Amino acid sequence: MIYDEIDRKMNERTEWVLRRQMGIPNNRKLFVLACMDERLPVEDVLGIGLGDAHIFRNAGGLVTDDVIRSAVLTTRFFGTEEIIIVNHTECGMMSASPDQIMNALQQRVPDLLNGLAVDPLLPEFRLTDMDAYYRWLKMFEDVDQTAEAQIGFLRNHPLIPDHVEIHAYIYEVETGSLRRPHVRLGDRVNTAKAMQQG
């Protein structure tokens, strides 16, 4: 009957709109941390769609205080049971040294080291020296080591439940596919060099 179909659609819409109030987790019980880079098609490479995950993107796909805050909320209150980290090759966070970034920032923001507040809701949190800015920027050199470090930061944080599964992958911009950190299939294909090492 048409009534049943209309009623079903209305119930689905109600559940979609009020899912937080009703305690309904995202479809995959998944939190994704990924880089903000526009070349990284997070939903496509993970095979997820609208409603499947809470997705947090920032420069580098790095664990920050806000990532921890969001991960705590999604795992402690929204039913999330898995965290996936997606870093990628050719990341802008590897494109310059911290010194180059800091020099460029100082040219653009002359009062950079005068105790500038970096979080509008935490005005007491101020960076006052170069070392603090370097650590705040979180530039890195090796995407594989960085991906593994992000797992450790989340796994060892006391606010993230022990039962939550945490994994990291590298998206290869050059091939358009995911791989595990430190596992490059290109290094294992049938070449003379690979055969000698094999």
88 labeled part of a ligand binding site: yes
Crossing angle (nearest 10°) for helices 98-108 and 130-137: 110
Report strand pairing: 165-172 vs 82-88. Answer: parallel
Query: Is 91 known to sit in a ligand binding site?
Result: yes
Q: Is 66 one of the annotated binding-site residues?
A: no
Task: Determine contact, residues 42/55, Cβ cutoff 8 Å.
Answer: yes
Instruction: Give the Å distances, CA to CA, from 70 to 1, 18, 57, 115, 160.
Output: 43, 19, 11, 27, 10
Q: Which residue has the tokens 């990532």?
A: 67
86 CB neighbour count, 10 Å cutoff:
24
99 is in an annotated binding site: no
CA–CA dist 3, 6 (Å, integer): 5
Report yes or no: 124 and 146 within 8 Å, Cβ to Cβ.
no
List, as one string, the DSSP characters of 99-122.
HHHHHHHHHH-TTTTTTEES-TT-
Binding-site residue ranges for Zn(2+): 35, 37, 88, 91
Binding-site residue ranges: 35, 37, 88, 91
